[in-house]
Amino acid sequence: MNAEANSVVRVTQSGHVGHITLNRPEKRNALSREMLERLVATLRAFDGDPDIRSVVISGDARAFAAGADIGTLAEAGPVELYGSGFSELWDEVATISKPLVAAVSGYALGGGLELVLICDIVVCDESAVFGMPEAAIGTVPGAGGTQRLVRVVGKTLAMEMILAGRRLNASEALARGLVSTVTAAGQVEAQALAIADKIATNGPVAVKLAKQAVLQSYETPLTAGVRFERSLSALLAASEDRAEGMRAFGEKRKPVFTGR
C-alpha cells in the first residue's frame, strides 16, 4: 500500500507493519481536514487488513504535528463549529483496534499532541516538544486533550500545560509517562518501527484484546476492569493462536500465528 510522494499522508508497509507519515512539511504537519480524513481512511484500511498487525504514525524532523489547521473553521459560528465533524476525526482514530505507535520528532502541539495521546505507544527523540497552546489564542483543546492529558500526566501538570501553556521536552515527557522511550536524533522512526515489528510477531488476537483491556482501565473501576480482562482471557482459550502459542512454547520454537 503506497501513496503518492506529494500526498498529505504517505503510506508504506514493511512486513506486518503499516507506516503512515504526515506530510505537510511547509505547515509543520498542521492537521488539516484533508490530512485527518486520509489518516482515518488509511487507518481503517490497515485495521481491516489481516496482513497488518501494528501501525506507526510519524511526522518529520521538524514536527510530528504542530497543531490542528482549522482553516475556515476559525471564522465558524458555534453551531457550525459543533456540527463540522472536524474534532470527531480524532475520535475515529481512537476506534482503531490495532496498536498505534507514534514516532515524534520536533513539535507535537495542540491537535498534534491530541493525536499522540490517542496512540498506544509513544516514542520520541531528543528534539521533541509537547504542549497544548490553545488558551494563548483564546480557545481550548477540542479533540480530547483535556481528558486524555490528565489521565497521562496527572491533574496539576495537565492544568499547567493547558492553562499556562507549559511545554514538555523529551526528558520531561519520559519522566511523566507521556512517552515510553527517548532516542537520539534521527533514530525515532527506526525505534518505533522496531517496537511495532515486535508487536507484529505476537498473537494478533491476543494483541487486539490486550489493547482493549488496557484501554478499558481508563473507563471503568478496577474491579470491573479485572472482570473484563478475565473475560477476554477466557475468550482467547478458543483461538487457534493460543493453541499454537502453547504448542510452540512446549516445543521450544517460535509460534506461527495466523490471527485466528
pLDDT digits (tens, 9 = 90+) for 80-137: 666 567 778 999 999 999 999 999 999 999 999 999 999 999 999 999 999 999 888 8
List the Cα angle 65/159/168 in 5-degree steps.
Answer: 45
Residue 77 confidence (pLDDT): 61
Which positions are annotated as active-site residues? 68, 111, 114, 134
pLDDT digits (tens, 9 = 90+) for 35-94: 999 999 999 999 999 999 999 999 999 999 998 876 655 666 666 666 567 778 999 999
Domains of the chain: 9-200 (3.90.226.10), 204-250 (1.10.12)
Yes or no: say if 53 and 19 are a contact pair by the CB < 8 Å rule.
no
26 vs 70, higher pLDDT: 26
Q: What is the mean pLDDT of the chain?
A: 88
* Whole-Å CA distances, 131 to 7, 106, 139: 27, 11, 14
Q: Which three cell numbers stand for residue 237?
A: 482459550
Q: Which of 131-135, 175-179, 245-249 has the lowest mean pLDDT?
A: 245-249
Which residues fall within 8 angstroms of residue 72, CB to CB, at 6 or more apart? none
Q: At what angle do helices 240-250 and 204-216 cross, to 10 degrees?
A: 110
Residue among 124, 113, 132 nearest 195 (CA): 124
Question: Can you tell me which residue has the cell 495521546?
Answer: 117
**CA 105/CA 92 separation, integer angstroms:** 24
Q: Which of 102-111, 130-139, 179-188, 223-232 has the lowest mean pLDDT?
A: 223-232
DSSP sequence for 18-55:
EEEEE--GGGTT-B-HHHHHHHHHHHHHHHT-TT--EE
Mean pLDDT of 169-196: 97
> Which strands make up the sheet holding 63-65, listed edge to edge?
63-65, 107-109, 129-131, 168-169
Residue 94 confidence (pLDDT): 95
Local structure of residue 68 (DSSP, 8 states): B
**CA 152/CA 27 separation, integer angstroms:** 28
Residue 202 confidence (pLDDT): 93
**CA 70/CA 54 separation, integer angstroms:** 29
Q: Which amino acid is at 171?
A: S
